[in-house]
Structure 1
Amino acid sequence: MLKLQQMMRAMRVMSSELELSEAQFGELSELIGIASVIVDSDGAILSINEMAAGMLGFKAEELRGTLLTRLVIDGLSALEQVLKPGRRADNPELFDLVFRGRSGRKSILCVIPQYLDHSDGATHSVLLVLSEKTSRSALLQTLQRSEPELQQFSNRLIAAHELELKRVSSELHDGIGQVLAMIKFMVEDAARHVKGGQSDEGGRILDETVLRLREAMSEIRRISIELRPSSLDDLGLIPTIEWHCRNYQNAYRDVHLKLELNAVEAEIPVALKLDIFRIIQEAMNNAAKHADASTVTLSLQVEHANLRLRIGDNGKGFDLDQSEHEGGVGLKSMRERVESTGGRFSIQSAPNSGTTVEAYWSLVP
């Protein structure tokens, strides 16, 4: 069991370093084949993946926000000790719990606890890995097999995160930073004119400064929207894509954009909307900045209970095998987004033959 606890500690540390939410951490644990639930100090379920919920006869969404303790019919004292405020151990003891599921059937599960670290240094939640008592060795083998994949996944997430931080840093330095520096000099110049009795000239400079401030506010709004478009929550994915395409056409006037949006907003799962938008951003930017494409086609539609996303261009393309070998962060990021949400991802490209990125998600529950 030592190896199992070491693996869980590694996942816990990765969660803290990457600032994963409880829901994202639950999804990650399910990806590598383990059942997990995250609870707060009161025993309320913050996140539970489908594998863990299925052990109790529920869907995950039915249990989020409820008290795990209400399902425990034996072993509650051991659970309460783990959840006790201020309690902390690097190697908390695993224990057994007896649950009563939806149908009333009793389930005896082995529970492996791990405390989750938070950015403020406090511990507010506990990860509980659930395993049937007869499956402990199988769970250990699953974690051992998944260790290399988990490390690669962590490395790719960190690389993508650092790339995004670099992009935002460049935007702030080259855009906002320079505008604010200009505004500073203009205000100083206006103050000097006013003190020198040249109030008219000082007023004229201040009027220009107001215009520069408006430009800075617009730039900040643009960066903010790119980081997380509020229209995704307020209006939905389709209007957000249309807004992005209008901005894209204004920025790349030499690129002809063909837009095919045949999906209905209500058909698109909420959990997919941000990932779909990020994939569109990445693929379209690649087409304009790296592929030298003159035509880009964006298609989002529902076909035979599948949501299909396709972004194609007529650019210079690339050697797909070489790109995969060298590990382009953008391509891997798109693939990770699709596959981590249960979709299928494919990309077709060759030198001088353009590039096509496709993703499919099943809409059948």
Structure 2
Amino acid sequence: MNSSALSGLRNVTWCDVIDAARKLSSAGRQPNGDFCTNVDARGIALAILSLDGCFVITNGSAALLFGYTNEEMIGRPLMTMAGSHAKRQILNGLSSCAKGESLSFRTSLYRNDGQPCAVVIRQQPIAVSTGDVSAILVAFEEPLRARPSTSAASSRDESRRRRHYTELMIAQERERRRIAFELHDGLSQALAFVKLTVEDALLGLHGGRFVETRERLDAALVRVREVICDVGQICCDLHPIVLDRLGLVAALASLCRRAEEQVERIRVRFDCRVREDDVPGTLKADIYRIAHEATSNALRLGSVCSIHVILDRVEEGIMLTVKDDGAGFGSVPVTADTGPDNGLGLLGMQQRVESAGGHFVIESDARCGTLVSALWAR
């Protein structure tokens, strides 16, 4: 891990990151309207950079956008992914953020496979309690340029349909790229390890080395179990199968039961005030993922005694609320974390909610705990 990447984060808390994320979201997109945020199942691509431009923490969407694992991204200078023109833009962006100024710009970065990737980089300085800027929150967006209409009489609705079609195509390509990456760098390597281990075990069996053979088979069995879990996670990222089997209401109830069983002395209560048919099918996967992310964050803190998940039908639309009574994660210091629950997962869901016309709020306080709320208008 690059020590300079961590040095600037010693005073940064998640409260500071949440505040930066709120500002990043409220700033909106550039007025030219020729790009938009395409999110995959895990939400928008987010990362936290040190002031010298090194990745300190990144979510899965950002890592997979550029063809890396989370571990490979941590400590990597953003400059190493840029050409000469992009380097000048990045340096300008780092300089602006160090002065407390947010900045958005279009550029091209190189993926792990050497292929260029056109992105819009939105940077928001992360200021600590003293007002000093200690890190930078970055959102990576993929630009869209709709094909110009060939007919002067083309309506605005037709332009919107073209744009939505383009967005869909890029989003699908991102999902294909993500799946291919996980299959190649995850499952294929794991299965190759199992194959070699079993082959060695067979040689040991024929040679009479029974103790060694048993150890190798035990190792292979452990890896097979991990592969099964990985496959389940990939399937869940694509579409939570439990939604098809149980429906949203039952799936959320099951999620709360499993969360309660996962940690002793924690009560997880689910309060459902809607019928299954009240929730549009297009929202069910997002609602489930946000509830999962929010409960996982609460459990990860360890200071929580109770979690309350509420799915309600209000006048404005469908509302999901996840409330805990913990110490809040706002005061928790930000550290390099390559795990899936590194804190950026929940923030990454904000753009996913807003892209579906919803409103997303995170509030975290040491006295009142954490409140995660998502509202989708009717």
What is the TM-score when the length of structure 2 is the normalising length?
0.45
Larger radius of gyration: 1
Bigger proportion of residues as helix: 1
Higher relative contact order structure (alpha carbons within 8 Å, sequence separation ≥ 6): 2
